[in-house]
Chains A and B, each alone.
Chain A
Amino acid sequence: MSPARRLLEHLVPYRRAYVKGFLGVVAATALQLAAPWVTKYAIDDLVADLTAAKLWGYAGGILGLAAVGGWFRFLNRRAIVGVSREFEYSLRNEFFAHLQRLDLEYFQRTRTGDLMSRATNDLTAVRMLMGPAVLYTSSTVLTFVVAMALMISIDPWLTLAALVPLPCVSFFVHYFGKRIHDRFEQIQAQLSTVSAVTQESLAGVRVVRAYRQEPFELERFRDANAEYVRRNRGLIALQAMYFPSMGLLMGIGALLVLWLGSREVLRGRITIGELVAFNAYLAMLAWPMIAFGWVTNLWQRGMASWKRMLEVLDVEPAVSDAHATADAPVSGAIRGDVEFRHLTFGFGGDPVLKDVSVSIPAGTTTAIVGGTGAGKSTLLSLLARLYDPPAGTVFVDGHDVRHLPLRVLRGAVGFVPQELFLFSATIADNITLGEPAPQAGVARWPRERVEAAAATARLDADLESFPQGYQTIVGERGITLSGGQKQRTALARALATDPRILVLDDTLSAVDTHTEEEILGRLRGVMRERTSILVSHRVSTVRGADQILVLDDGRVVERGTHDELLRLGGHYAALARHQQLEDELAAIS
């Protein structure tokens, strides 16, 4: 379906308001066009030396037309511009809701600044199209048609003369419109780049400062900025030509009317009043002609931006409920058996995971160790379907995870990713991130639930030390948490969801040893009832697990309990020996 068709479909809910607006435009335009007609009678009467009493009527007529016309103008403006705001509101919601459905991979390959630009600048251009552009187009077209008809009724030949420049106008509109559109698209694209460069530089302020990159960043920004200006210059040259040439053409039309019209008056074919009215109508046409260019511009920009928004709206989420089966378990019915079956997975190049097969019975603990880039985080991400695994490779309770609705699957998995993300909100809001949307019949999480989760994550003492406690705002607007505090907040967040499957991806790496020991002690009780999968770099953390997997370059190279792996004498044993030596060395006073 064409972008224009789809835009129209988006407007269906607002058809009543548009109809109302159009009717208002018709009435207002009709009344506006009636005014010069009144003037015409008045002037002809003046020439014919009529009474002063009649002047009262004409003056009153002009005022009355303006009052009623103004009322309709008020109505149509409110209706149509108002609708464009409603439309903007719902399209913005739709855009955000769509982003929410897109997968992690999409956000990794798309720049945040680019998405922001589409959600703001492009949305504004589309809104301008739906409101002001529609309003002005309809009033312009109407004014044009009716004024023309009235002019013809005064003098067809004079009208013809006045319209000599018209073919040129339509040529101009067409010629310039296309080029303005193309250049505008290039400008918008460059604006996205400017945003992205800014975003990156500001977000990495510490690195920029520490490595004295300021001049380099400034240069990078200058390049993007200069390119933006360069592209704008192309548009400016066009625009500077466009509007004045409209004015020129209309001016020539007015000139012809004055010159030829006066001769017509001299010949007695039209009255002076008619000439004045004709002039007034031509002046009214000048505005539509000029507005036409401006409105075309709005249409071009709006359509270009709409296409850019559709580019995002048309992205099919790679991870969705498309394969969900009817017999899939409902929320809360997951036991927690996890299985990876001959899983091979990659992001295009070399597979990150190669033929990984692991069975994790419900209620047991599995630990994963392995080097950097061995595929540990990817394996965990596939379980929560941050990326979609190939069909028939990852199972929960015997169901292919692709067959489980995301809501059910993710509801069962409490995930603490390695690169965790806290929102600039209160600590309480961050911990209750997984709380379902408020709805009838579903109780809000009690305070104890949040407190228990915070206590298990050993966040309780920190919270006591904050003057605002749970209401402390973190992130850009609030206090800066240390790495360990962030990790523990993220842990509390996962625990608060009461998950069947707890997944910790190197969660306590920034937590000091003393605190970590306490947390692990408190976690023991929690983990007893759940399937737990944890990635760690420390033998001490993983040794108690029911099974330990050693991943190397995407393959499971060793598996077993701590003791079994030690006996095996492979990677794990080497790792353990190294850490033990370290500890022993440390123990020598």
Chain B
Amino acid sequence: MAPHDEDVIGKAYDSRLMRRLLTYLVPYRGQVALAIAAIVTNAVLQLAPPFLTRIVIDQAIPARDLSSLGVVAALYLGATVLSFLLEFAQTWTMQIIGQRVMFDLRMAVFGHLQRLDLRFYDRNPVGRLMTRVTSDVDVLNELFTAGVVSVFGDVFTLVGIMAMLVWMDWRLALVAFSVLPLIVLVTQWFRRHVRESYREVRAWIARINAFLQERISGMATVQLFRREARDLMAFDDINRAHRNANLDSIFYYAVFYPAIELVSALAAALLLWVGGGWVLRDALTLGSLVAFLQYSQRFFRPISDLSEKFNVLQGAMASSERIFTLLDTPVEIASPPGGAPARRGAIRFEHVTFAYVPGEPVLKDISFEVQPGQRIGIVGATGSGKTTLMNLLLRFYDVQDGRITIDGQDIRTLDLASLRAQFGLVLQDVHLFSGTIAGNVRLGHREISDEAIRRAVDAVHAGPFIDRLPGGLDAPVAERGSTLSVGQKQLLSFARALAADPPVLVLDEATSSVDTETEILIRDALRVLMAGRTTLAIAHRLSTIQDMDAILVLHKGELREQGTHQQLLAQRGIYRRLFELQFASGREAVVQTPA
């Protein structure tokens, strides 16, 4: 098994990504400037202690001058206190900026997800998208708080130290710098390997999450089929691969830090040997040598810090790459600047062809027309394309050929929200949101009054069961509505459609999950609901659509017959066959047990 997604991982530093990330800082540029000023000043202040030490050793002590010692001490104190204030200001500002940027990014990602079309959701598991909104953004947060800031600080400290060394003694500075190529080599080696193993780790963690997510959702099924042991083995495989990838990366880290320290010791040894020789020949003061040693220590700390940040940077680049890829995913079904339909509910399909997978058309050259207020039934065998018809009408997907019009306008030219406001959709799998019963009927439309909700609920006969719940309409609904029965959820989805009061009603296999008794009640409610509305109903039970104004018969993606129930029966075609089969199965005892 190889990691098959999350493979997109860029360089550790990608200027294109970085520039784009920085644009998120633009709204907060004032605070960023403040933080950077604090960082730079603080970096300069870091140069003070060794320098002051040099003054003490070379001047104050040989001169036995206690007063200048006092001055040095006062300067030292000043630098320390100032550094404290600057660090506080910088940490606080940067982290607050980080939080704000995270907030903005999360909103951008979530907002974009709200615009992306169904095709995108078909391709991307929910677990993966969750990672974008939560963990990927969190990784970026580290970049803003710990990473970028200390990189700035580190770079300034480095430059400052180098300048200081050259100023004190350029020859000895060259000695100190002579180990730099080694640092570069070690860092290069580290970077190359860590990038590789980091990619692996990310890919496996994504698989772990996807697996967990799905198993938690389907745990009852897992348990019913005693799949626990096998699932645990499968999980163990992914988990183990993740661990191994991590162990690889630990190796590189474990080598890297000591290697940097070794190089730093090499520099100290060189300074002591060369500089010590010069001190002996009075070519260098003792204070300068001590200051050199102290600076060189501080010189390598930022470098090894930089590599620590490299880790953060690498993670951030990978995460931002993924976030931006998501943000860049074009919204294939965007809302055009067009207007709203006339709310009459006239629908026309003109030579509509559509395929989910290229080359495997699900609908072929479908044409039909629905007058305002007309009730249309759609029948056909499983997989004949009925649901797809609905998906296209609501622009969950766009037609590949032909066009669909509502009230004479191509739906692709209409404002998307206004278009969808034409439809009340009732799906077979009812999705409920955690919140209250009323909230699930209202679905965020505040313009729907409490009375309207009450009326809708009563009209679909959901009133009695809701009133039995503690709190009635305000009764809490658990995640996925797991405390309600399928039938109850179905009733709620009817109330939803009714409360929205759309000109067109779209029922997708809506009645098939409800038992006959409830169906009798609902049919009554539907009659009220359908009055004055165009209705498109997909049904497997032919009985539920017989009194429709027209019935469309889909077969293998083609519209083969259309007409009223009587006309279609007389036609003796597919519909008649479907009908006879159902009729026959109604007469024959279909469940027979041995005599």
Contact = CB atoms under 8 A, between A and B. Distances in A.
B417 interface: yes
Interface in B74-99: 76-77, 79-81, 83-85, 87-88, 91-92, 95-96, 99
Contacts of B99: 229, 232-233, 236
A111 B130 contact: no
12 contacts: A55-B280, A74-B255, A240-B95, A258-B73, A283-B294, A349-B470, A436-B229, A509-B512, A512-B380, A514-B577, A540-B588, A582-B543
Contacts of B468: 350
Given A199-B126, A477-B125, A513-B540, A433 B221 contact: yes
B73 A205 contact: no
A583 B583 contact: yes
A266 B96 contact: no
A112 B216 contact: yes
A413 B224 contact: yes
Contacts of B64: 266
Interface stretch (B26-34, B51-59, B154-162): B51-59
A348 B589 CA distance: 39
A107 interface: yes
Interface string B455-492: 00000000001001010000000111011011110110
A211 B434 contact: no
Contacts of B222: 100, 433
Nearest to A241: B88
Interface stretch (B164-172, B312-320, B404-412, B425-433): B425-433
A206 B118 contact: yes
A75 B243 CA distance: 18
Interface in B575-595: 577-579, 581-594
Contacts of A71: 258
Nearest to A235: B95
B261 A69 contact: yes
Interface stretch (A2-10, A173-181, A189-197): A189-197
Given A59-B272, A240-B91, A485-B383, A510 B60 contact: no
A73 B250 CA distance: 12
> Chain B interface: which size bin?
35 or more
Contacts of A119: 212
Interface string B335-362: 0000000000000000000001100000
Contacts of A377: 485-486
Interface residues of A, number: 196
Contacts of A42: 272, 276
Interface in A307-366: 347, 349-350, 363-365
A283 to B, nearest CB: 7
A142 B280 CA distance: 36
A240 B276 contact: no
Contacts of A70: 258-259, 261-262
Contact of B130 (A60, A77, A199, A205): A199
A538 interface: yes
Most buried by B among A52, A115, A514: A514
Contacts of B16: none
A258 B264 CA distance: 24
A583 B586 contact: yes
A112 B431 contact: no
A55 B277 contact: yes
Given A255-B76, A578-B520, 10 more contacts: A52-B276, A67-B265, A85-B247, A93-B235, A104-B223, A107-B482, A236-B95, A258-B56, A373-B488, A544-B590
Nearest to A462: B383
Contacts of A567: none
B224 A410 contact: yes
A469 interface: no
A509 B513 contact: yes
Contacts of B221: 417, 420-421, 423, 433
Interface string B272-292: 110011011000001001100
B270 interface: yes
A226 B103 contact: yes
A232 B145 CA distance: 12
A512 B382 contact: yes
Interface in A266-291: 266, 272, 276, 279-280, 283
Contacts of B585: 513, 516-517, 520, 540
A243 interface: yes
B73 A216 contact: no
B450 interface: no
A122 interface: no
Contacts of A58: 269, 272-273, 276
B61 interface: yes
A203 B226 contact: no
Nearest to B89: A240
Contacts of B250: 77-78, 81-82, 85
Given A100-B231, A244-B87, A373 B272 contact: no
A437 to B, nearest CB: 4
A81 B221 CA distance: 37
A263 B269 CA distance: 29
